Structure 1
Amino acid sequence: MKPSVLPSDVDLTAMTPPSSWQLFLSTFCRNKGAVLGFIVLALMVLIAILAPAIAPHDPYELFTGQEQLPPAFLDGGNTMFWLGTDDAGRDTLSRVMYGARYSLFIGLSATTLAMLVGVSLGLSAAFWPKVWGKAVMLVNDILMSYPSLLLAIIIAAILGPSMTNTIITIALVCTPPFIRLTRATAMVELQREYFVASQVMGAGVLRLLFVTILPNCMAPLIVQATMIFSSAILEAGAIGFLGFGVQPPDAEWGAMLGTARQYIQSNVWLAIWPGVAIFLAALSINLTGDGLRDALDPKLKQVT
């Protein structure tokens, strides 16, 4: 009997099942909103990194006699200042660009810190559920019973206004969701056969927690991190607006909104541009998070 031979026109690569990365990428790219959000977010990160090179002016430079100019496309505007100037005569476009550095850095730092603390506490609460786990979840439930923004304002007022204190404040507020999600996911993984096998083989506690269990909990945690990142930027803006965050003359979006508050009737543009920046950052992160959720959830993946 002759061995079967595939026709020469058959593409062997088409018969190969897609890799996990290809499946993730194809699922993510099918979500047009997620792709758009990722592009906007990438542009904002690029602007933040390249701000010293692409900003038209120094964000702290005062242009005497050019205070509160409207945008260049309106009557009374100056082409030197595309988005106008603030109450001290500083270029608004340059300050919005530099503000991306502060706001995105605060959001990313707070989210990273909250994730590190929350994941560690959540894993330990799942591994030792009787005393330590109950104590952790009791404190966690108490913190989650407060509105997050109100709690952030209280903590920021106690710690005092600075960028470091803002990061610590937002990280404390954003930690409870990570604890709850990590604990819930880890408790499911603790019942799996691979975990029992690792215990039988004599794996240590740290290896069981961070090498055996944690990688299998990462998909929902990554999605949660994107949502927390968005919330962190909004909360940083709110804290800065109330005067408890980054202090003027530093160009942070929330602080810019707080300064513009007293000029809202005479020059609304002072508040519009940082407000639009915060809105676009939060929206793009949320859209990207939706795409990550679809791509990382096995139930939502579709093989094309």
Structure 2
Amino acid sequence: MTQSVTQTPAQTLTPPKQWQQFVRAFMKNKGAVLGLIVLIIFIFIAFFAPWLAPHDPYELFQGKEQLPPSFVSGGESAFFLGTDDAGRDTLSRVLYGARYSLFIGLCATTLSLLIGVSLGLAAAFWPKVIGKVIMLVNDILMSYPSLLLAIIIAAILGPSMTNTIITIALVCLPPFIRLTRATAMVELQRDYVTASRVIGVGTVRMLFVTVLPNCMAPLIVQATMVFSSAILEAGAIGFLGFGVQPPDAEWGAMLGTARQYIQSNVWLAIFPGLAIFISALAINLTGDGLRDALDPKLKEVS
């Protein structure tokens, strides 16, 4: 006679994996989901701008200068968002501007992350000499307002997209250095680090393979915030004339060009400014969702 073994529901259910918990926590934040969707749309626009733009962003339409949007009296259907002071299609330039602004923000954030993490780890591992020097320079950089520091560096390097990326990367360094150092100093006191030292793990491997992965959660959140700040900084530098130069279709440069026509044709400034605002807001919302999903203290106990 055989006995049938029945499994209770508690035995059949398996706990969700870590990535499943992350996705569930992120999806609960409706604002973060909306921000991610908008960010994906902007990335899609940046990649497919040549096919989405109705006109060449550099094409000059004679006699069509400073047309208002087509939905406003005086506009033309061929130019949905109107034209700029040189007769170029505003919609096409805003679409192409996503390429410049997102590329500058992404490159500056990546460069700042790589340098900041390396310096932060060095400051945590050698706190007596190297750490003091790094944190002293870091405190000096943080004592300046970020926009003022960006303007000074951009004025020294000169106006170009490459120099804009370098400028923003330098301005965004301090938060990465401080956060990496603080997180790494906590991790260096853990037992697994002591065990790694006992078995003879090298310094570089210990910092970048053993310690760094355990510091990535707050760094990912910080990177999203810096990405948003980088887009705003690029727009501000371009507006002041120290960034990407006209006729390149960058949102900040478009705002700088529209500055002198703000009273006669406010539409020239509204659309690139709105693009900067929406993209920065979407990235911030996504970063908030990542913070809530990655921080165990903020997760709901089920």
TM-score, scaled to structure 1: 0.97
User: How far did 1:200 drift?
Assistant: 0.4
Do residues 94 (structure 1) and 95 (structure 2) align?
no
Distance of 1:195 and 1:57 partners within structure 2 = 58
Do residues 152 (structure 1) and 138 (structure 2) align?
no
Give the AA of the match of 2:130: W
Indicate the SS of the match to 2:48.
helix
1:99-132 CA distances to partner (integer Å, 9 max, x unpaired)? Answer: 0000000000000000000000000000000000
Distance of 1:281 and 1:54 partners within structure 2 = 18
Give the AA of the match of 1:267: N
| 2:282 match | 284
Distance of 1:162 and 1:12 partners within structure 2 = 62
Indicate the SS of the match to 2:76.
coil
Distance of 2:14 and 2:263 partners within structure 1 = 63
Aligned pairs (5 A) from 1:235-250: 235-250=233-248
Aligned pairs (5 A) from 1:181-196: 181-196=179-194
Say if 1:23 and 1:303, in contact at 8 Å, map to a contact too: no
2:171 to 161, 170, 173: 173
Distance of 2:11 and 2:249 partners within structure 1 = 56
User: How far did 1:301 drift?
Assistant: 1.9
Distance of 1:48 and 1:6 partners within structure 2 = 53
2:124 to 117, 120, 126: 126
- CA RMSD in angstroms comes to 1.3
Give the AA of the match of 2:184: A
Distance of 2:31 and 2:22 partners within structure 1 = 16
Distance of 2:225 and 2:191 partners within structure 1 = 31
User: How far did 1:4 drift?
Assistant: 3.9
Give the AA of the match of 1:291: G
Distance of 2:139 and 2:5 partners within structure 1 = 65
User: How far did 1:6 drift?
Assistant: 2.5
Aligned pairs (5 A) from 1:1-304: 2=3, 4-6=5-7, 15-302=13-300
User: How far did 1:11 drift?
Assistant: 9.3
1:174-200 CA distances to partner (integer Å, 9 max, x unpaired)? Answer: 011100000000000000000000000
Unaligned 5+ segments in structure 2 are: none
Unaligned 5+ segments in structure 1 are: none
Distance of 1:59 and 1:276 partners within structure 2 = 18
Distance of 1:95 and 1:241 partners within structure 2 = 15
Give the AA of the match of 2:7: L
Say if 1:253 and 1:274, in contact at 8 Å, map to a contact too: yes
User: How far did 1:299 drift?
Assistant: 1.0
Identity of aligned residues (%): 78
Give the AA of the match of 1:232: A
User: How far did 1:302 drift?
Assistant: 2.8
User: How far did 1:289 drift?
Assistant: 0.2
Give the AA of the match of 1:107: G
Give the AA of the match of 1:21: W
Distance of 2:269 and 2:151 partners within structure 1 = 21
Distance of 2:236 and 2:155 partners within structure 1 = 13
Q: Sort the Cα spacing of 1:257 and 1:127 in 2 relative to 1 into closer, same or farther, 3 A.
A: same
1:73-101 CA distances to partner (integer Å, 9 max, x unpaired)? Answer: 00011110100000000000000000000
Distance of 1:250 and 1:6 partners within structure 2 = 67
Give the AA of the match of 2:239: F
Give the AA of the match of 2:214: N
Aligned residues: 301
Indicate the SS of the match to 2:242.
coil
Give the AA of the match of 2:128: K
Give the AA of the match of 1:111: T
Indicate the SS of the match to 1:60.
coil
